[in-house]
Amino acid sequence: MQDDILGLALQVSRVTSEKISQIETIMRQTRLLALNARIEAARAGASGAAFGVVAHEMGSVSDHITEVAQELRSEVQANVARIETIGGEMLVNFRGARLQDIALNAVEIIDRNLYERSCDVRWWATDSSVVEALETPGPNQAGHASNRLATILRSYTVYLDLWVVDASGRVVANGRPQTYPSVAGLDVSRESWFREAMSTRDGDAYVVGDVERSVALGGAPVATYATAIRKGAQADGQALGALGIFFDWAPQAATVVEGVGLSEEEKESARVMLLDGRGRVIAASDGAGVLTETYDLGEERSPRGYFVDGERLVAHALTPGYETYKGLGWRGVIEYRLGQAGGAKRGGAAPMRAVA
């Protein structure tokens, strides 16, 4: 509707300008006729005197109408310029509010997805085959655990692999040994997710790290969740090792940033991103800068908002978390190119910021 209002204002300006130009043309013709009439009246002498007065008044009326037309043109142009400015600001505010809602929706979808991952890791760490692989270690138990993890992976296609790690940090079983044969026996004792998992207070606790590329999993970006595998699968049991599960980040994140509720026209001028707590791009609708670019939000620290910087409208929303998953300080961000989308013209004014 805001686009229609601005378009209507421009149409009114165009039509008004055309009609005023027509009036001015008619008045020029009228003045010319009045001048010719006065000349002919002067030639007619005394008999044309009365007609000369009429011709003079016709010229005066024409001049007056021309002045009114010029004043009307000036006032219309000034008001239309104001409408354009206000309309442009309305467009920016409307779009900014809309885009920040979409940014929030994007990060909420990820939060809900990752909440399920936190449930998965705590549940699977109590699986009998996983616990037995560490309570009574041996090749048979490791093979059984591997088969069980493979069964899980066939149902939960969002994971690249699942690892059972003993207390020393050695991987004793994984769910895809054929795909990732170098994983078995791998030493992960220095990995932060393993150390933090071994330090969890009980079976309800888990750890999660930011998205990183895993060399052992072919360099794929993964979100790693982990928790301790405890003796007897008891919540307060001794930590025997850890279960690490590796969320296949790239396709899941791409589905979110590419599937947000933007129109096709908006998608042409927008870049949808997910940023981690450090501002690093961990997903982008254009595929650029993933895990290499740090996106600058300036001093923006509000949970939700938008601002204009030059030809950029940037809307953002901080993760609100989901149920017991508090999130990692991630943000949904949408950068919209106003200049290419017919947005409000921006001058040298300071960037506009709004917070919801």
Arithmetic mean of pLDDT, 145-174: 97
The answer to whether residue 347 scores a pLDDT higher than 80 is no
* 305-318 pLDDT, tens digit each: 999 988 999 999 99
Arithmetic mean of pLDDT, 114-141: 95
Write down the mean pLDDT value for the chain.
85
pLDDT bin (cut points 50, 70, 90) of residue 84 is: low
| H or E element at residue 280 | none
Given CATH 3.20.10.10, say whether it is the number of domain 116-248: no
pLDDT of residue 87: 63
Arithmetic mean of pLDDT, 61-75: 74
Report CA-CA distances (Å) from 226 to 80, 118, 124, 245, 265.
Answer: 61, 8, 10, 6, 42
pLDDT of residue 269: 93
Top mean-pLDDT range of 85-89, 190-194, 308-312: 190-194
Tokens of 347: 């001058």
Q: Which residue has the higher pLDDT, 301 or 344?
A: 301
Cα 58–chain centre separation: 64
pLDDT bin (cut points 50, 70, 90) of residue 345 is: very low
The answer to whether residue 353 scores a pLDDT higher than 70 is no
pLDDT of residue 162: 98
Would you kindly state where each structural domain of the chain is located, as residue ranges? 116-248
Tokens of 243: 């279960």
27-41, 207-221, 237-251, 323-337 — which is least confidently predicted? 27-41
Distance from C-alpha of 310 to C-alpha of 298, rounded to nearest angstrom? 14
pLDDT of residue 351: 42
- CB within 8 A of 67, min separation 6: which ones? none
Percent of the chain beyond pLDDT 70?
82
Cα 178–chain centre separation: 38
Q: What is the edge-to-edge ordering of all strands in the sheet holding 304-309?
A: 281-284, 270-275, 331-337, 312-318, 304-309, 352-355
Q: Which amino acid is at 180?
A: Y
pLDDT of residue 177: 97
Tokens of 330: 């991630």
Classify residue 47 as exposed, middle or buried by CB count within 10 Å of its CB (0-12, 13-18, 19+): exposed
Kindly give the pairing relationship between strand 281-284 and strand 239-248: unpaired
* 203-260 pLDDT, tens digit each: 999 999 889 999 999 999 999 999 999 999 999 999 999 999 999 999 999 999 999 9
Torsion of CA 147, 148, 152, 153, to 10 degrees: -30
Q: Which residue has the higher pLDDT, 55 or 97?
A: 97
For residue 185, what is the DSSP state?
Answer: T
SS3 content of the chain, % helix, strand, coil (to 5): 50, 20, 30
DSSP string, 139-165: HHHHHHHHHHHHHHHHH-TTEEEEEEE
pLDDT of residue 190: 96
Cα 352–chain centre separation: 18
- CB within 8 A of 55, min separation 6: which ones? 34, 35, 37, 38, 41
pLDDT bin (cut points 50, 70, 90) of residue 1 is: low
The answer to whether residue 356 scores a pLDDT higher than 60 is no
The answer to whether residue 52 scores a pLDDT higher than 70 is no
Arithmetic mean of pLDDT, 276-300: 93
The number of residues making up the chain comes to 356
